[in-house]
Structure 1
Amino acid sequence: MPVAPCLIAACCAKEDLVPLCDAVVRVHHKHGDRQNRAKARLKFVLKAKGEDGFRALVAEELANARADGVTGRVLPDALPAANPTPIPEATGAEGAWRRLNVRPHREAGLAVVSVCVPRGDIPAPMMRALAVLAERFSEGDVRSTNDQNLVFRRVAHAHLSALFGGLGELGLTRSAHGLTDVVSCPGASTCQLGITLSKNLAKELETRLAERGLDPANVGGRINISGCPNSCGQHHIGTIGLHGAASKIGDKLVPHYALMVGGGDEGEKVHFASLICRVPARKVAEVVSALGGWYLAERSASTQTFAAWLRVQAGAGLDKDAARKSREALKARIEPICAIKPDQLAEADLRDLGADKLFSLDELGAGECMA
């Protein structure tokens, strides 16, 4: 399970950044578990030492790093003073795109544009076309994000309409922030650790949620999918988090997903999603659509986001027993939608989404990293 970060320094001078990072690495080298690979993680050192003890070790190693001459090269601060200006309004589809995907740059008259890349997949011809747009509108500079999207920087306000048109020709103008912008690892399609075809589920969810009509401008939240319990798809911090699993119904092996809800962040506070239940892969879209419907019918106000509503269902703010009962109540609502009796299994239930053969774990292999 993930853990929340430990604050080492509320403010760090630029020249101290590299030595401080070096000190954290030294603490891990000296105190990390070198015998058990499953516990060779910094979080276990933090748990063993406690936050105060961990900070004390970092302070000790910071002194050692400085004594060893560890330094960082401080680059000149070339950033101009912040002077953002509001994004000009537009109408119709372009207006919606500007509200959702465009925000002010720190420099007057410039904007930062987020580009939604469905499931992070970009064919080579599309990449070349995006490169042309970047040369024209963002000084040839494009950044990738950890939610599988792209960011165009320093786009002049006067060029927003032309960029919208260019992205529209590529089919890349939908919201880059919201439930329909699903984050997913490749899953079993390419990964030896993958249990399920997570990207196929992501595609189905995008379609189903678009049909449900959840307004990305008001709903808020994110769906994160991993093809296995490892967190490459960041499922622990999704408003809805899903990770691939295998479960038997009767004597048949059926692809499933573990459903988690309520993850995300609020400023400096992080919420890890709570596990609710396992759902057969072919029932996930129906369950997620039902959650969206319940949210629209039951939210406390039109301003309550989907993420906030799901945190309530997961028992946020309640004591341990009350929170458990709240999660059990949500599970009880979900189970009638996804329950399949052994005699009700169809052949499609025994195949993963988009697969042409029966689901199995025969192709699982060793990971390519520390997982």
Structure 2
Amino acid sequence: MEELELAIKPILAILAAVAAALLVTFLLRLATNHAFRKIPDFKQRSAPAKAPVFLVLLCVGLRIALASTMNEQPWSAPVDFVLVAGFIAALCWLLLAALVVAERMVLRQFNGRVTDNRRRRRLTTQVTLGRRIISALVITLAVAGLLLTIPEVRALGTGILASAGLISIVAGLAVQSSLANVFAGVQLAFTDALRNDDVVVVEGLWGRVQEITLTYVVVQVWDERMLILPSTYFTTTPFENWTRNSPKISGSVNLDLDWDVSVSALRAHLAVLLKSTELWDGRTGNLDVTDAVGSMVRIRIVVSAADSGDLWDLRCLVRESMLEYIQQNQASSLPRQRLEMIPNAESQAQRRPGE
């Protein structure tokens, strides 16, 4: 009878711990939903934290419940180790989930208030990168905590600390490039040098920043290729950022035409064209002759748009419309070469009279 009682007690303790964890998780869920009821979609946004909260409470409850029922059983030490390790892992998961929920809430709140696209992109970049930095620290501490629960690892740690000087030098040399990229990524985000969705020119290619991490930056170029560049590239190599201060940008269209072209007519056609399209933001719409050398004149059209996508479409529209207008109304201004044949004196002397 006594043996049966000893066998039943741990089972009852486990069931009680599971029930208590479920009940407390449910009550916490109700309390948080009530406290943040004014925040839209809080229940859905905080869903990632539900499972880790339950696991943390379960590990704590099981350790408390089994501590009074194990009675120096041979399996008590392994079970206790598993519960401690599970608590550390669950707590790490909970902190990571809390960071994700906090990131969603911050971006939701500020993006609704901030109307400036540049400030919104800066906020998104900094909040996302900040969450990743803290997540990396949490995971590092969790792994260290798990390792320190093993007695052999703790003993090894004492020897490592004794020779920490030499090891730190070797480790520093081994991860020098990785650490440089990490610091460069932090520098890019928190000095506001680069933001998500910025339009940049790297390696001679136009592209848009898709993602900024601690060690690399992803840039999508016009043909949908993804350039993966280390963070140090943007701190050591000059690059063009067309949306550093504002997403509004300008671009040019060049036309090489004959000297017979009517510039005023082209300028009038450009004005009509720009007023008829929503791609133009109304800031810049100029047509100038920038060069006149040899047999052609160069006409440069400068237009502006709200962002890089609209600018690309606007430049293509202007180029196509100008070509069509020139073909239909000023065909004589299309590029051509002029040659004048001048007879020399000998050929003129050999001509017969009257020819």
Same fold (TM over 0.5): no
TM-score (norm 1): 0.21
Higher helix share: 2
Whichever of the two has the greater Rg, that structure is: 2
